[in-house]
Structure 1
Amino acid sequence: MFIDIPSELEAALTDRSLPPWELDGSFLAQSTMERYRTELMATSRFEETAGILRHALTGEGGGYAVLRLGNLSKALGAGDRFRRLATAFAAEVAVPFSPFPRWPLWKDIGVKVDKDPGRSSGIGYNAFHMDLVNATRPPDYTTLLCVRPDPLGGGPSILSDAHAAVARLSEDSRALLAELAYHYGTFFDLFGVGEEYKPFPILDGSDPGEGFIRFTAKMLERSELGQAHTDAARELAEELVRGQVSFMLQPGDYLIVNQRRFLHGREALHSGQETVPVSDRRLLLQLFLRAPAGDGSAA
């Protein structure tokens, strides 16, 4: 699931400067997507690389990919030129958008030592979850672009095949997970993700191997659930950990996760984060994607 950029494509992209993007509401404008695609299709092996990326995300056995853009980030830095290229790759998968009107298209995820350790910007273990779990139309893809890894060496990304984990559960547990019994988090000031879903089922009734697995391990500690439903969700959490893969994102690595197949999280950052200057701490950029209507990944 790691995709290297061919050297001739890297060379072509290093010399190319895409125009600033435009938004249509909270979504990347269709005109921008067409402009980016037209310009990059003219570069050697872009279409081939984009096809490999799409297959890794939606093909049999797939569900996530890491696009290795490190050489481009070294050549271009992590500013606008590089982010436009990453946006163009993302637009080959689905439509980039921001569900948070108070944030730009790309949202910074830094490190704050005084935050809840289990949150994305915290320093502790960020347990398996899907983003915007309590929305009726969660993003089809969540993506993370690594600007800086933890300089102390912590914080590996973790991913797990949610459908494979569910398949290992008992029928009784699956029946409980399909009930409208779960809730987590708040819901306000959001665009493009439907309405609040509360309570929601963890299993949405789709055929086995399809649909969202609406799960966040944080609900086990922060939501009032009946014992039977808690036990079923805890069993799923254990199976997710049992099947997890783990890797360190390097500068320029672009992780894209199909939320209909995989859940994601992060191991704890290394101790001593308070000694690291804020400007040197781990920094990721997050972007969400909505699959077009009629696409197999669309909500």
Structure 2
Amino acid sequence: MFIDIPSELEAALVDLPLPPWRMDDSFLATSTMERYRTDLTATPQFEETAATLRHALTGEGGGYAVLRLGNLAKELGTDNDRFLRIATSFAAEVAVPFSPFPRWPLWKDIGVKADKDPGRSSGIGYNAFHMDLVNATLPPDFTTLLCVRPDPLGGGPSILSDAHAAAARLPENCRALLTESAYHYGTFFDLFGVGEEYKPFPILDGSNLGKGFVRFSAKMLERSKLCPEHAEAARELADELVRGQVSFMLQPGDYLVVNQHRFLHGREALHSGQETVPIADRRLLLQLFLRAKADDGPAM
């Protein structure tokens, strides 16, 4: 779902002097969230826009949204702290912003490195469907990506797929294999606020379709040692995710928010020739994670 910002709200946000945020350990401080909410609720149509965003993420049939902040990005500049505070304030309307990586700031850069593993988020190749921090007992409830610059050569559309709908299309014996704790992927160190390492883990949290995480990363098919039966079940899920995918190109200022309880995400390959693009002109996203508020319950 794409959500445009009403012109009256855009005009108010351009002139709104939101203060710098404060952190409580790796989480956005409650005092900052309260101040942002107080300031923003005084602007026209903010509450209606925030409600539309929340419904798109957690309402019936929802699971992701793209907030169109492009006009604000043009007016303020994507490298302006005021613009990033506006994006943070919208994120705080959904859940609590936090950084699971103590060595990184609240917003983490995802640039393009032509010499890195092509399948990684900073690589140039196809980034297959996955859930962020798949091997944590408490993965982020939401993952978000703010587009600063798209690929200037025209590649790299974002891809998303309804993970529960994909699992529902699988035969029962396949789903049964996916509920077994037989899967593992990735490393686990120097993390905050995401629980403990989960290894091995089930892809499906239980037999009740539509509930819980779908703990999947297509990279496990190539980089983890799985028995043939469990590997084949995961491949069938991967095929269904691709079959049901949606794709779109993020534009400057577009803010993608994904409910990890419902959708998996990825990215098509960037256009060939990235090594000819100056680093300062390459695709750049900023990533922020969100933890559901305790009184909101699961982000289902």
In structure 1, the residue matched to 2:143 is 142
In structure 1, the residue matched to 2:108 is 107
In structure 1, the residue matched to 2:62 is 62
After superposition, give the CA deviation of every residue in 1:178-200 in whole Å (9 maximum; x if it has no partner): 00000000000000000000000
2:181 maps to a residue whose letter is L
Question: What is the Cα deviation at residue 113 of structure 1?
Answer: 0.2
Question: What is the Cα deviation at residue 293 of structure 1?
Answer: 1.4
In structure 2, the residue matched to 1:18 is 18
In structure 2, the residue matched to 1:248 is 249
Question: What is the Cα deviation at residue 203 of structure 1?
Answer: 0.4
Matches within 5 A, 1:148-167: 148-167=149-168
In structure 2, the residue matched to 1:43 is 43
Q: Supply the distance in 2 between the matched residues of 1:206 and 1:32 (Cα, whole angstroms).
A: 40
Unaligned runs of 5+ in 2: none
In structure 1, the residue matched to 2:129 is 128
Question: What is the Cα deviation at residue 294 of structure 1?
Answer: 3.7
Q: Supply the distance in 2 between the matched residues of 1:298 and 1:59 (Cα, whole angstroms).
A: 10
Question: What is the Cα deviation at residue 298 of structure 1?
Answer: 4.9
Contact in 1 for aligned 2:40/2:46 (Cα 8 Å): yes
TM-score computed with the length of structure 1 as normaliser: 0.99
Q: Supply the distance in 2 between the matched residues of 1:209 and 1:177 (Cα, whole angstroms).
A: 14
After superposition, give the CA deviation of every residue in 1:89-122 in whole Å (9 maximum; x if it has no partner): 0000000000000000000000000000000000
Question: What is the Cα deviation at residue 172 of structure 1?
Answer: 0.5
Question: What is the Cα deviation at residue 207 of structure 1?
Answer: 2.8
Question: What is the Cα deviation at residue 131 of structure 1?
Answer: 0.0
Contact in 2 for aligned 1:145/1:254 (Cα 8 Å): yes
The reply to whether residue 28 of structure 1 matches residue 28 of structure 2 is: yes
The reply to whether residue 282 of structure 1 matches residue 289 of structure 2 is: no
Q: Supply the distance in 1 between the matched residues of 2:295 and 2:232 (Cα, whole angstroms).
A: 36
The reply to whether residue 92 of structure 1 matches residue 93 of structure 2 is: yes
Q: Supply the distance in 1 between the matched residues of 2:191 and 2:299 (Cα, whole angstroms).
A: 19
| Count of residue pairs brought into register by the alignment | 299
Q: Supply the distance in 2 between the matched residues of 1:205 and 1:87 (Cα, whole angstroms).
A: 33
- Cα RMSD (Å) of the superposition? 0.9
Contact in 1 for aligned 2:261/2:299 (Cα 8 Å): no
In structure 2, the residue matched to 1:186 is 187
Identical pairs, percent: 84
Contact in 1 for aligned 2:129/2:264 (Cα 8 Å): yes
Question: What is the Cα deviation at residue 244 of structure 1?
Answer: 0.1
Question: What is the Cα deviation at residue 206 of structure 1?
Answer: 6.3
Question: What is the Cα deviation at residue 208 of structure 1?
Answer: 1.6
After superposition, give the CA deviation of every residue in 1:233-277 in whole Å (9 maximum; x if it has no partner): 000000000000000000000000000000000000000000000
Q: Supply the distance in 2 between the matched residues of 1:84 and 1:230 (Cα, whole angstroms).
A: 43
Question: What is the Cα deviation at residue 297 of structure 1?
Answer: 2.7
Q: Supply the distance in 2 between the matched residues of 1:17 and 1:263 (Cα, whole angstroms).
A: 35
After superposition, give the CA deviation of every residue in 1:116-171 in whole Å (9 maximum; x if it has no partner): 00000000000000000000000000000000000000000000000000000011
Contact in 2 for aligned 1:292/1:298 (Cα 8 Å): no
Contact in 2 for aligned 1:178/1:201 (Cα 8 Å): yes
1:267 maps to a residue whose letter is E
Matches within 5 A, 1:197-212: 197-205=198-206, 207-212=208-213
SS at match of 1:47: helix
TM-score computed with the length of structure 2 as normaliser: 0.99
1:51 maps to a residue whose letter is A
Q: Supply the distance in 1 between the matched residues of 2:296 and 2:137 (Cα, whole angstroms).
A: 18
Q: Supply the distance in 1 between the matched residues of 2:299 and 2:279 (Cα, whole angstroms).
A: 38
Q: Supply the distance in 2 between the matched residues of 1:208 and 1:276 (Cα, whole angstroms).
A: 45
In structure 2, the residue matched to 1:72 is 72
SS at match of 1:187: coil
1:277 maps to a residue whose letter is P
Question: What is the Cα deviation at residue 205 of structure 1?
Answer: 1.4
In structure 1, the residue matched to 2:5 is 5
Q: Supply the distance in 1 between the matched residues of 2:205 and 2:33 (Cα, whole angstroms).
A: 32
Runs of 4+ in 1 over 6 A off after TM superposition: none
Contact in 2 for aligned 1:290/1:298 (Cα 8 Å): no
